């Protein structure tokens, strides 16, 4: 099937972000104009997905690189899954080299502790549980816009640092079966603007990761800083800011890691969930 522009359709969710792209077979060639429209949809809706796809690892990497460059390897970033294919990691509760087990995962961005955090990530669903394992993304641009003017002024010029989740993990088990592990020294926190700009739109993002934002920098009073961080973590985790995705086998989904947190519900015992993730490098936040 050749992908035709007249079959192409973007269907926004009725939630705070997210859209389905219909009428596209990602295994087949796409015109530059169609690719451009998909990229614009990603920038506007932040989470964009395609149902019923059947693509190879190589095609997933091609698709990923429409949105930005490969993520350069960092020593702080583990390779999880097949070490011969470090650009695709296995996110699974069943495979020997899979990552993350089956529990609830708190809202976070991926690689937020890096000097140049990831701009986005692609997930391809190979096996999906009958129930559980839904992923939800929250809209951090909307979270910023809903702050009152006093709070917006208070956040100006502050920075936030995040810790590396993988630091201090000394066994394969701690890393969910990963092939690498890291010492405490790998936990060097990176401080970035607490309110950062979304490069494609110029909009402001409240850049707080509930799981691994660690310290707000720029306030002299430490308890004020930690209370403010707790308040902001609660603010970005409000239900109305989320889009929840019920996965189906064959889904290909891309999210904007700059302006969304994601969290995952737990997976019931005995259910299998196997996903393949690739990532897009980002710029230094400003």
Chain position carrying tokens 């005995």: 270
Q: Does 256 bind Fe ion (CB under 5 A)?
A: no
Pairwise CA distance, residues 46 & 255, whole Å: 6
Pairwise CA distance, residues 18 & 253, whole Å: 10
- For residue 72, what is the DSSP state? P
Nearer to Fe ion, 21 or 279 (CB): 279
Nearer to Fe ion, 48 or 99 (CB): 99
- Three-state DSSP at 138 gives strand
Token digits of residue 268: 């019931």
Nearer to Fe ion, 110 or 186 (CB): 110
Nearest of 177, 210, 211, 213 to residue 193 by alpha carbon: 213
Nearest distance from residue 262's CB to Fe ion, in Å? 6
Nearest distance from residue 264's CB to Fe ion, in Å? 8
Pairwise CA distance, residues 107 & 137, whole Å: 8
Nearest distance from residue 101's CB to Fe ion, in Å? 13
Q: How far is CA 253 from the centre of its chain?
A: 11
Pairwise CA distance, residues 153 & 149, whole Å: 6
Token digits of residue 160: 């936030």
Options 10-18, 58-66, 102-110, 179-187: segment touching Fe ion (CB under 5 A):
102-110
What region does 96 belong to: left with phi over 0, alpha with psi -120 to 50, or beta? alpha
- For residue 136, what is the DSSP state? E
Per DSSP, the chain holds a count of helices (H) and strands (E) of: 5, 17
Nearest of 180, 168, 165, 179 to residue 97 by alpha carbon: 179
CB 259, CB 140: distance < 8 Å? yes
Nearest distance from residue 210's CB to Fe ion, in Å? 12
Options 110-118, 123-131, 199-207, 221-229: segment touching Fe ion (CB under 5 A):
110-118
Nearer to Fe ion, 8 or 190 (CB): 190
Nearest distance from residue 263's CB to Fe ion, in Å? 9
Options 7-15, 69-77, 104-112, 170-178: segment touching Fe ion (CB under 5 A):
104-112
Q: Does 110 bind Fe ion (CB under 5 A)?
A: yes
Nearest distance from residue 85's CB to Fe ion, in Å? 19
Nearer to Fe ion, 87 or 110 (CB): 110
Nearest distance from residue 111's CB to Fe ion, in Å? 9
Token digits of residue 274: 């196997």
Nearer to Fe ion, 16 or 112 (CB): 112
Q: Using CB under 5 A, which residues numbered 18 to 47 contact Fe ion?
A: none
Nearest distance from residue 11's CB to Fe ion, in Å? 25
Binding mask 47-86 for Fe ion (x = CB under 5 A): ----------------------------------------
**Per rule CB under 5 A, count of chain residues that contact Fe ion:** 1
In the bound state, the residue with its beta carbon closest to Fe ion is 110
What residues make contact with Fe ion under the rule CB under 5 A?
A: 110
């Amino acid at each position: 099937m050749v992908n035709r522009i007249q079959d192409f359709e973007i269907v926004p969710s009725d939630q705070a972000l997210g859209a389905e792209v219909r009428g596209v077979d990602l295994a087949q060639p796409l015109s530059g104009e169609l690719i451009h429209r998909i990229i614009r949809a990603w920038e506007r809706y932040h989470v964009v997905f395609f149902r019923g796809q059947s693509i190879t690892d190589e095609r997933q990497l091609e698709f990923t690189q429409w949105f930005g460059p490969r993520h350069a390897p960092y020593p702080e970033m583990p390779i999880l899954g097949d070490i011969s294919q470090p650009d695709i990691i296995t996110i699974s509760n069943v495979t020997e080299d899979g990552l993350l087990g089956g529990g609830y995962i708190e809202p976070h961005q991926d690689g937020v502790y890096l000097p140049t955090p990831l701009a986005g990530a692609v997930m391809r669903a190979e096996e999906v549980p009958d129930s559980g394992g839904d992923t939800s993304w929250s809209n951090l641009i909307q979270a910023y816009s809903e702050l009152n003017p006093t709070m917006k002024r208070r956040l100006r010029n502050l920075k936030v640092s995040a810790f590396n989740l993988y630091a201090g993990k000394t066994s394969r088990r701690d890393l969910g079966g990963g092939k690498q592990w890291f010492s405490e020294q790998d936990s060097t926190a990176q401080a970035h603007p607490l309110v950062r700009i979304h490069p494609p739109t110029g909009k402001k993002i409240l850049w707080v990761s509930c799981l691994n934002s660690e310290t707000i920098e720029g306030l002299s009073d430490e308890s004020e800083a930690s209370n403010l961080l707790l308040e902001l973590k609660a603010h970005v985790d409000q239900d109305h800011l989320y889009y929840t995705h019920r996965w189906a086998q064959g889904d290909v989904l891309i999210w904007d890691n700059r302006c969304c947190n994601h969290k995952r519900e737990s997976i019931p015992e005995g259910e299998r969930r196997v996903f393949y993730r690739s990532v897009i490098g980002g710029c230094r936040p400003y």
